[in-house]
Amino acid sequence: MGLKDYLYDIWEAVATTAKGMRITARYGVDPRETITLQYPEERWEPSERFRGFLYNDIKTCTSCTMCVRVCPVDCISLESVRGADKKMVLASYDIDIGRCMYCGLCVEVCPPKSLKHTSGYEKASVDRGELILHFIHEDAGEIKARVAKQVAEAAAKAEAEKAKAESEKAEAEKAEDGEPDSRAAQKDAPPSAQPAAPADAAGNPEDGGAAEKKPGEEKE
Amino acid sequence: MMESLAISLVDALPVLSGVPLWTITLLVMVMVAAVVLTFALTYSGLATYVERKVAGDIQARVGPNRVGPVGILQFLADGIKLLLKEDIIPAKADRFLFVLAPYLVFIGSFAAFVVVPFGVGLIASDLNIGIYYLMAITSLVVVGVMLAGWSSNNKWALLGGMRAAAQIVSYEIPVGMALLPAVLIAGSLSLQDIVRSQGGLFGIFGWNLFHNPFTFLSFFLYYVAALAETNRTPFDIPEAESELVSGYHVEYSGIRFAFFFLAEYGDMFVVSALATACFLGGWHVPFLDAEALPALWGNLLSLGVFLGKTLSLVVLMMWIRWTLPRLRVDQLMRMAWKYLVPLTFVNLLGVSLWLLLFHGEGIPRMIASLFG
C-alpha cells in the first residue's frame, strides 16, 4: 500500500462519515421525517378499499351460504331455518375474525351485498373466543324454536283454513255429492308437511355446505 | 484549594472558629464530592434520555415521550426500575470480582470528574498533573471491564472483556499523543493552566484548535481515539449486541448494570470535557474575559460556556453513534495502529517543530500582532 492509497483511505473515511452524518442530521432535524403515529391519540385512517373486519347486515342477508362455501379458511359459520313465509331465517351468523385472512372472497361473492369489509382494525382480546364476531345476539336455539313455532302455527292455521274450506266444500259437496273427501285429504297433506321438513334439514347447514363444497373444489 | 475554601468558610462564619480546621476541610471535601457526584449522576441520567431522543429523531421515530413532559423524566423511571430489579449473580461466577467490577468501572469514570475544569474557579482539585491523572484513572475502567468479563464465567462476557482491554490499551496511545500538543503549548499538565493558555483574542481564536494546522488536526484525532476509548459505536466491539449479546456486562442486572451504564455516560462527558479543555478553549467565554468578571458571574458564565461546549461534543458522539455501523475487530485494530498512532506521532512532531520555529506563537496571534 503506497502513501497515495494510505492518504486516499483516510480521505475516504472522513468523506463517507461526513456524508452519513449529513443524512442522519437531516432525519434528526426535519420533523417531517418522523413517521411515528402516536397511536391511541392519533389514529391511522384506512383507505377507502381497506379490507378491515367483516360486517354482515343481517337484515339483507338471505342465508344463501355462499360466503360459507367460498371462505378458504372456513371462518364463517351460518345457521338458518326456513321461516313461515318460505324465506330462510338466520339463526346464527358468526365470523371467527382471528382466523379470517381478509381475502375478501366472501364479500365479492355475496349476492345481496350484505357482507362488507369495514375500516375496523382494532381488536385485542385476552381470549380467542372474543375474536368470534356474533352478528345475531339471540340464542340460535331460541330462534329455531320460535321459527318452528311460527311455522307450526302457520301450518296449523293453514290446516285450519284448509279444514274450514274443506268442510265448507264438503258441506257444499255434501249438498251435491259426498264422495271426494279422501282424495282431497291426500292432496293437501304434502303442502302442510313441507315447511317442517326443510327446517330439519337446514338445522345444520354447515354440514350441507361442506358436503356441497367438496365436489365444487374437485371440479376446480 | 479545599483548605482555602475551609479558611474562607471559617472567616465567613465566626461560629466555626472553635472547630479544628481539618474537620472543616474534610467537610468541605465531602460536600464538593457530593456536588460533583450529584452533577455527574444527573448528567448521566439526562444523557441517557437525550441519547434515546437523538436515536429516535435520527431513525424517524419519536423516542421516549410518556414519562413527564416530552418524556424528560424517563431516566428517573428507568433508574427506579433498575433499582428495584432482582440482583442476579450467576452461580458459577467469581462472586467477589463480579461484585467489584462495576465499582471499578464506576470509580474509573467518575473519579475523572475531579480534575474537570468546569469554570474559572470551579474545579474540585486542580492537580498539577491533571491530564496525567485523568488518563491514569480512566484506565481503571479497563481493569473493571476485564474483571466483569472474566468473573461472569460467560464466553460472551469474556470475549467482550478481552476485546475491551485490547481496544482501550490500543487507543490510549493515540489519545495521549493527541493531547500532548495542548500540554506542549501550555507548558503544564494542569488542566486549569491549559485552559488559561487559550485565553484572549475574543475568546475564540485563542483556542488551541486554531493555534496551528497540527493542533487543528490533533483535535479530530483525539476525538476519534477518545470515541474508541469510551467503547461507543462505531467502536463498541466489547459490547457488540449483535455478536456478543452485550459483551462484558451480559450477566449484570439491576443496579450493577446501572453502574456500567452510568460509567459509560460519565466517560463520554469526561472525554468531551477533556477535548473542550485542551482544544476548544475550556471555560473561556467568547468576547468576555471570564476571569476579570465578578467571581459569581465569572464562574456562572464560564460554567455555562464549558457545559455548552462539552455537551455539544457529547451530542456529536451520539450523532456519530446512530450514524455509523460497527467496525470489525481487525478494522478497529488497523485503525488504531496503522492510522491513528502514526498520524498522532507525525502530528506531535509537527506541533513541536512549529513551537520551536515560531517560539510558541499560534497563527491567530501572529495575525493579531500584524495589526498591532
Q: Report ipTM for this prediction.
A: 0.73
Q: Residue B279: in which H helix or E strand, if any?
A: helix B254-279
User: The pTM is what?
Assistant: 0.73
The verdict on B234 and B114 lying in the same domain is yes
The pLDDT value given to residue B349: 92
List, in order, residues 6 or more apart from A29 with CB less than 8 Å away. Answer: B57
Mapped onto helix, strand or coil, the DSSP state of residue A34 is coil
Looking at the structure, do residues B75 and B223 belong to the same domain, yes or no? no
Q: What is the pLDDT of residues B165-188, one digit of tens each?
A: 888 888 888 998 888 888 888 888
Domain end call among B28, B49, B84: B84
H or E element in which residue A89 lies: strand A88-96
User: What is chain B's percent helix, strand, coil content, to nearest 5?
Assistant: 70, 0, 30
Per-residue cell: B346: 507525525
Q: Does residue A38 sit at the B interface (CB-CB below 8 Å)?
A: yes
Can you give the pLDDT at residue A1?
Answer: 65
Rounding to the nearest 10 degrees, give the CA dihedral for residues B51, B52, B53, B54: 50
What is the C-alpha separation between A46 and A49, in angstroms, rounded? 8
B329 and B361 within one domain: yes
Mean pLDDT by 10 residues, chain B (372 residues): 70 73 79 85 87 86 83 86 85 85 87 84 79 86 86 86 85 88 87 82 77 87 88 79 78 84 87 89 78 76 87 90 86 87 90 85 78 73
With contact defined as beta carbons under 8 Å apart, do A212 and A69 qualify? Answer: yes
Cis peptide bond N-terminal to B234, omega within 30: yes
What is the rounded CA–CA span in Å between residue B284 and residue A163?
Answer: 115
The mean of the pLDDT values for chain A is 77
Query: Do strands A115-117 and A76-82 pair parallel, antiparallel, or not at all (unpaired)?
Result: unpaired
Q: What is the pLDDT of residue A208?
A: 42
Residues B139 and B62 in one domain: no
Name the minimum distance, in Å, from the CA of B115 to any CA of chain A: 32
- Taking contacts as CB-CB distances below 8 angstroms, the residues of chain A near B343 are 10
Among A6, A21, A29, most B C-beta atoms within 10 A, so best to mutate, is: A21
Residues pairing with A54 in the sheet = A117
Tell me the Cα Rg of chain B.
Answer: 22
Residue A116 pLDDT > 80: yes
Residue A96: strand, helix, or coil: strand
In the block, cell 488497523 appears at B334
pLDDT at residue A220 above 50? no
What does the pLDDT read at residue A24?
Answer: 87
Q: A141 and chain B: CB distance < 8 Å anywhere?
A: no
* Counted domains in chain B: 2
Residue A133 φ/ψ, nearest 5 degrees: -85, 125
pLDDT at residue A7 tops 70 = yes
B204 and B69 within one domain: no
Q: Cell for A123?
A: 381488536
For the residues A45-67, what does the mean pLDDT come to?
Answer: 86
Q: Same domain, yes or no, for B304 and B175?
A: yes
Helix axes B95-110, B140-151, angle to 10 degrees: 160
What percentage of chain A reaches a pLDDT higher than 90? 2
**In this structure, are residues A111 and A101 in contact, taking their beta carbons and an 8 Å threshold?**
no
Q: Are residues B162 and B303 in the same domain?
A: yes
Q: Pick from B57, B65, B339: which is nearest to A28 by CB?
A: B57
| Mean pLDDT across A103-132 | 86
Q: Residue A207 pLDDT > 70, yes or no?
A: no
- The shortest C-alpha distance from B312 to chain A (Å) reads 14
Q: Which residue of B has its CA nearest to A33?
A: B60
Q: Are residues B240 and B121 in the same domain?
A: yes
* First-residue to last-residue Cα distance in chain B: 38
Domain that holds residue B310: 90-370
B323 and A33 within 8 Å at the Cβ level: the answer is no
With beta carbons under 8 A apart, name residues in chain B contacting A21.
Answer: 319-320, 323
Q: Tell me if A10 and B60 make a contact (CB, 8 A cut-off).
A: no
Task: Please answer yes or no on whether B323 and A23 come within 8 Å at the CB atom.
Answer: yes
Residues B133 and B49 in one domain: no
> Which residue out of B57, B62, B219, B316 would a mutagenesis test of the A interface target, given it has the greatest number of A Cβ atoms within 10 Å?
B57
Q: How confident is the model at residue A214 (pLDDT cuts 50, 70, 90)?
A: very low
A17 touches chain B (CB under 8 A): yes
Contact B62 A34 (CB under 8 A): yes
- Does residue A211 register a pLDDT over 60? no
| Cβ-contact B101, B249 below 8 angstroms | no
Dihedral angle of Cα A15, A17, A19, A20, to the nearest 10 degrees: 160
Cβ distance A17 to B324 less than 8 Å, yes or no, reads yes
Beta strand spans in A97-151 (E): 115-117, 132-134
Residues B206 and B105 in one domain: yes
Domain C-terminal end among B84, B99, B116: B84
Interchain pair A21, B319: CB under 8 A: yes
Which among A21, A25, A34 has CB closest to B60? A34
Quote the minimal CA–CA distance from A124 to chain B in Å: 22
> Count of A–B CB contacts within 8 Å?
38
Q: What's the gap in Å between the CA of A53 and the closest CA on chain B?
A: 29
Verify that B70 and B95 share a domain, yes or no.
Answer: no
Around Cβ B209, how many Cβ atoms within 10 Å? 21
Question: Is any Cβ of chain B less than 8 angstroms from the Cβ of A20?
Answer: yes
Residue with cell 485563542: B206
Q: Nearest CA of chain A to the CA of B272: how many Å? A: 19
Cβ contact, residue pair A34, B324, below 8 Å: no
The reply to whether A37 touches chain B by the CB within 8 Å rule is: no
B65 contact residues in A (CB cutoff 8 A): 38
Residue B372 class from Cβ within 10 Å (0-12 exposed, 13-18 middle, 19+ buried)?
exposed
Cell of A80: 338458518
Taking each helix axis from N to C end, the angle separating B140-151 and B254-279, rounded to the nearest 10 degrees, works out to 160
CA A31 to chain B, closest CA, distance in angstroms equals 8
pLDDT score at A177:
64
Taking the Cβ of residue A165 and every Cβ of chain B, the question of whether any pair is shorter than 8 Å is answered with: no
Specify whether B296 is located in the same domain as B156. yes
pLDDT reported for residue A215: 43
Find chain A residues with C-beta within 8 A of B54's C-beta. 28
Q: What is the pLDDT of residue A195?
A: 46
Query: Closest approach of chain A CAs to the CA of B69, in angstroms?
Result: 15
The set of cell numbers assigned to B187 is 507548558
